Amino acid sequence: MPTPSPAPTPSPALTDALIRALPKADLHVHLDGSLRVPTLIELARERRVDLPSMTEEGMNALVFKESYAHLGEYLQGFAWTCAVMQDRESLERISYEFAFDNWNEGVRYVEVRFAPQLHQHEDMDAREVLLAVDRGMARAQQEINAAMPPGDPEFRYGIIVCALRAFNAELSTYYGQLMRALSKAPRKKVFGLASLELAREAVWARDEAGIPVVGFDLAGQEDGYPAIDHQDAYEYAHQHFMHKTVHAGEAYGAESIFQAITKLHADRIGHGYLLFSPERVTDPKVEDRVAYTNTLADYIADRRVTMEVCITSNLQTNPSIRSAGDHALRKMLDARLSVALCTDNRLVSHTTVSNEIRLAVDNCGVQARELRDIVIHGFKRSFYAGSYAEKRQYVRGVIDYYDRIVREHATAQG
C-alpha cells in the first residue's frame, strides 16, 4: 500500500505573539517620520530647537497625535523632526536607532526613505547626508547580525531617495537657494530640476560610494503637482537601472497611478488607496470611470506593480476612510494585486508593521494564507541591494523561516 501523505500542519491563530515573531519587511517608511520622541527632544535641546513641548507626553498631545484633522496637520510634525536632522551625527544616530526599532519588532528587511535635499546646506551636501544615514544603518546591521542565531535570516536594508513634487524656499537651505537662483523659471521646471539633480546623486551614491541606494521616490502634495513634471529625473533613474516607486493614489485618483506607471516607469506605488475610486477620475475623455479603474487594476495585477499599503497613515490623512474596514486593501487583494503592508511613519502614525498586520487581519478579512503571501511579497518585491541570485537565496531563507515560525506556534497552540 502507498504511504499516506502526512497531514498538513494546521494554521495557528494569528495572535499578536505570532505576528511579532514573523519575519517582516517594510518597503515604505520615512526616516524623518520615524524618530524616537526622547531622541527628538534630546537633540532639540542640544541644537537649540524650540519644540512645542519638551516632554514626550506634550509632543504626543500637541504634534504626534493619534488622529489628525487633515493631511496638512499630519505633515506639521516633519518640521520639528527635520529641524534636528541637519548634521551628520544626528542623522547617523537616528538611522541607527531606526534600524533597531525595526529589528525589535521582527522586521528583517527595511527600505528607509528620506529626502536628502531637506537636510543639505552649506556644510553638508546630499552626498554627505546619504553617507551619514548609511553609516548609522550599516553599524546597526553589523551589530544585529553579529548576534543573530545561526540559520535565521539576517537583517538587511536599502535606502530610497525621495524627491518632492513641490516645495518652497522655507523647506530647506537647498530649496531656498535653488528657488532664488531660478526665480524667473516656471515653478514646475524648478521642481523637476531638483529631482533630476537628486537622481544623479542617487546613482552616484550607489555606483561610486557603494551606498545601498536601491530606489528613487517622488513624495509630497499630489493634487495639482503632477508626476510628469519629474519625468526627466525618472528617465535618468530608469536609464541607470535604478528601481522606482511613486507616491500616487493617495490624494489624487487612478489617473495619478496610471501616470506614475506609464510615464515614470514605477515598479511600485506608494499608498494607491484611491485606485478603486472611480468618482476621483477627472479626465473628460474617460467615459466609463468604473471600467477605467477596473482595467487599470487588472493592468497593475498583471504587471505585478506592488502597492505599498499604509493603513494607519491613510486613516489619519483621508477623512473618507472612516475605519480600517473601509480601506481599499480588501479590494486590492480580491483583484489579485501584489500588496505589501508598510508603516509610512512609525512615529507620526504611532505604528509598526506588526500593528499594520493586526489591522489587516482584524478589519480586512486577511486570513493566514493571504498573510503569508502579503509578507513574502514584501521581500520578493523589495529593491534588494544585491544580485537577483542573492535576492532569491535571501527570500528563500525568509520563506523557510516564516514557515518554521508558523509550525512552532501551531504546535504550541496544540
pLDDT in tens, 235-291: 999 999 999 999 998 877 898 999 999 999 999 999 998 999 898 888 888 989 999
State whether residue 285 is helix, strand or coil: coil
Side by side, the strands of the sheet bearing 268-271 are 24-30, 107-114, 156-164, 213-219, 243-248, 268-271, 306-309, 339-341
Alpha-carbon gap, residue 172 to 330, rounded angstroms: 39
pLDDT recorded at residue 7 = 45
Q: Is 111 an annotated catalytic residue?
A: no
CA distances from 227 to 10, 187, 201, 273, 379 (A): 46, 14, 20, 17, 27
pLDDT of residue 6: 45
Among 92, 201, 250, 255, the one annotated catalytic = 250
Neighbours of 126 (CB within 10 A): 21
- Structure confidence at residue 322 (pLDDT): 82
What cell was used for 161? 531617495
Pairing, β 107-114 against β 156-164: parallel
Only one residue has cell 505585478, namely: 304
Confidence at residue 340, expressed as pLDDT on a 0 to 100 scale = 98
Determine the pLDDT at residue 288: 94
How much is the pLDDT for 41?
Answer: 98
Q: Kind of pairing, strands 268-271 and 306-309?
A: parallel
Report angle CA 353, 21, 40 to the nearest 5 degrees: 45
Residues of the chain with pLDDT under 50: 1-8
Q: How far apart are CA 36 and CA 77, in angstroms?
A: 13
The per-residue DSSP string of 167-230 comes to: --TTS-HHHHHHHHHTTTS-HHHHHHHHHHHHHHHHHHHHHTS---EEEEEEES--TTS-GGGG
End-to-end CA gap in the chain: 30
Residue 373, classified by CB atoms within 10 Å of its CB into exposed (0-12), middle (13-18) or buried (19+), is: middle
Query: What CATH number was assigned to the domain covering residues 16-412?
Result: 3.20.20.140
Q: What is the pLDDT of residue 1?
A: 45
Return the pLDDT at 71. Answer: 72
State which amino acid sits at residue 372: R
Return the pLDDT at 282. Answer: 87
The domains of the chain are located at 16-412
88-103 and 126-146 helices cross at what angle (nearest 10)?
A: 40
Give the pLDDT score at 258: 94
